[in-house]
């Protein structure tokens, strides 16, 4: 994440007709909004782009492009081997720490479960840490892993970007760190990080916007919730913004930053405040499903008719999608699969192999492709071939 974007994501902004204002936001939630126009540049940079008739496709073409992208994303993905085989038998007995941002976040807990499963198959000793949504806890856990001479550390949704001092200690001790879903797969690595195990957060955000564009016929008023603690979530918001600018000149949106540690206490009331302030909002885009867990009940209690399109594909959220219960679509990656991919990457680190692209897929879940499936059965949602594929790749099949 660039400094420009870190600065930018500390602001809220309203895109559409209106004036341009600037306002700094408190570290957690804020009620401030920033108004700018789609045709104007934002925050002193060209990152807002332009939606003038000469540079943007027509609404009809934009809707068609978004509709095609959604249709492709609804299909079942296939496993693609990430790279050369890994001789996991050589690593039996290794001590690996798994540090999570917060086990209260369902997708984080699912990834951790997958990593534990895979580590057990590899014969590793695992120490699991719940970061409880507190950044200082993440750094402390990493420092403890260094002190305990861990062979490696898998950091799940706990960004190395915000614990650089502890990362420097791990690097000095020769302890590789693999981060999982903290940043876009293409993002630069923080010093000491062996590899990302991630997705294109940017493309995930594009797909959320695509669904809205396709199902609103290119005329939507959107409330987006971000979380600038996590570089990947910043990138996801970028993807949403760019897609609305490129494909939906009539769409407007409001952005609101949040922090994971305050979701329970602050997000329900904030959601209702923003929806009452802008009653024209008819779509809400959380940047991750844990936000939606508080947004959806708040919307229901106030009788909002807006629809939610979220991201992460957590089972509880997919249940809402299947029932068309306020949340009607969800873009996600396979969580347990991602945990296995993290262990694969850590194996490569410990064997002094080169890092690889883990090829974690994205899929758009909607009522039609969830029909008849168990939302808690990842094999049904994603095909289920990855476990045996990894075992074979590791020489343990």
- The torsion angle over the Cα atoms of residues 92, 95, 98 and 99, rounded to 10 degrees, is -170
- Higher per-residue pLDDT: 247 or 7: 247
Same domain, 319 and 210: yes
Q: What percent of the chain has pLDDT over 90?
A: 79
Decide if pLDDT at 34 tops 70.
no
Same domain, 319 and 272: yes
Same domain, 175 and 244: no
Domain assignment present for residue 369? The answer is no
Predicted confidence at residue 230, as pLDDT, reads 84
- Cβ-proximal residues to 170 (8 Å cutoff; 6+ apart), any chain: 142, 145, 146, 153, 176, 177, 192
Domain assignment present for residue 370? The answer is no
Predicted confidence at residue 272, as pLDDT, reads 98
Same domain, 249 and 292: yes
| CATH classification at residue 93 | 3.40.50.2300
Region 296-310: mean pLDDT is 98
Domain assignment present for residue 268? The answer is yes
Same domain, 69 and 188: no
Same domain, 208 and 304: yes
Same domain, 218 and 309: yes
Region 146-152: mean pLDDT is 99
Other residues' Cβ atoms within 10 Å of the Cβ of residue 396: 14
- The torsion angle over the Cα atoms of residues 331, 334, 336 and 337, rounded to 10 degrees, is -160
Region 273-290: mean pLDDT is 97
Domain assignment present for residue 127? The answer is yes
Average pLDDT, the chain: 87
Region 39-64: mean pLDDT is 48
Region 7-25: mean pLDDT is 29
Q: pLDDT grade, residue 232 (50/70/90)?
A: confident
Q: For 128-138, what is each residue's pLDDT tens digit?
A: 999 999 999 99
Same domain, 327 and 230: yes
Q: Supply the angle between the helices 59-73 and 201-215 in degrees, to the nearest 10.
A: 120
Same domain, 219 and 338: no
Q: For 323-373, what is each residue's pLDDT tens digit?
A: 999 999 999 999 999 999 999 999 999 999 999 999 999 999 999 999 999
Decide if pLDDT at 316 tops 90.
yes
- pTM to 2 decimal places: 0.77
Q: Are 98 and 110 in contact (CB under 8 A)?
A: no
Name which of 21-25, 242-246, 299-303, 311-315 the model is least confident about. Answer: 21-25
Same domain, 95 and 123: yes
Same domain, 153 and 217: no
How many structural domains are present in the chain?
Answer: 2
Q: Which domain holds residue 213?
A: 10-75+203-332
């Amino acid at each position: 994440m660039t400094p420009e974007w870190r600065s930018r994501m500390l602001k809220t902004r309203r895109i559409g007709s209106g004036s341009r204002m600037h306002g700094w936001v408190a570290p957690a939630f804020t009620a401030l909004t920033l108004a700018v126009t789609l045709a104007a540049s934002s925050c002193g940079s060209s990152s807002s782009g332009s939606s003038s008739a000469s540079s943007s496709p027509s609404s009809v073409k934009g809707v068609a492009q978004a509709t095609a992208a959604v249709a492709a994303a609804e299909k079942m993905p296939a496993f693609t081997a990430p790279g050369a085989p890994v001789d996991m038998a050589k690593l039996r007995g290794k001590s690996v720490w798994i540090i999570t941002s917060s086990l209260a976040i369902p997708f984080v807990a699912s990834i951790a479960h997958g990593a534990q499963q895979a580590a057990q198959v590899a014969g590793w000793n695992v120490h699991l840490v719940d970061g409880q949504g507190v950044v200082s806890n993440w750094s402390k856990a990493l420092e403890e892993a260094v002190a305990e001479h861990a062979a490696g550390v898998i950091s799940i949704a706990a960004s190395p970007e915000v614990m650089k001092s502890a990362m420097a200690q791990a690097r000095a001790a020769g302890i590789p760190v693999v981060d999982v879903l903290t940043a876009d797969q293409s993002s630069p690595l923080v010093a000491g990080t062996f590899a990302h195990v991630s997705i294109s957060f940017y493309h995930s955000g594009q797909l959320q916007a695509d669904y809205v564009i396709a199902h609103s016929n290119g005329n939507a008023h959107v409330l987006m919730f971000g979380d600038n603690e996590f570089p990947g979530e910043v990138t996801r918001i970028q993807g949403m913004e760019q897609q609305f600018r490129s494909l939906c000149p009539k769409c407007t949106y409001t952005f609101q930053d949040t922090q994971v540690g305050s979701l329970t206490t602050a997000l329900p009331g904030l959601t209702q405040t923003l929806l009452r302030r802008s009653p024209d909002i008819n779509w809400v885009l959380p940047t991750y499903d844990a936000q939606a867990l508080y947004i959806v009940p708040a919307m229901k209690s106030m009788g909002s008719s807006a629809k939610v399109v979220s991201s992460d594909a957590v089972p509880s959220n997919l249940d809402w999608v299947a029932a068309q219960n306020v949340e009607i679509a969800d873009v996600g990656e396979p969580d347990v699969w991602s945990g296995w991919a993290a262990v694969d990457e850590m194996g490569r680190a410990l064997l002094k192999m080169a890092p690889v692209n883990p090829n974690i897929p994205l899929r758009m879940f909607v009522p039609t492709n969830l029909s008849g499936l168990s939302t808690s059965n990842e094999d049904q949602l994603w095909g289920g071939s990855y476990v045996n594929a990894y075992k074979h790749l590791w020489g343990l099949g």
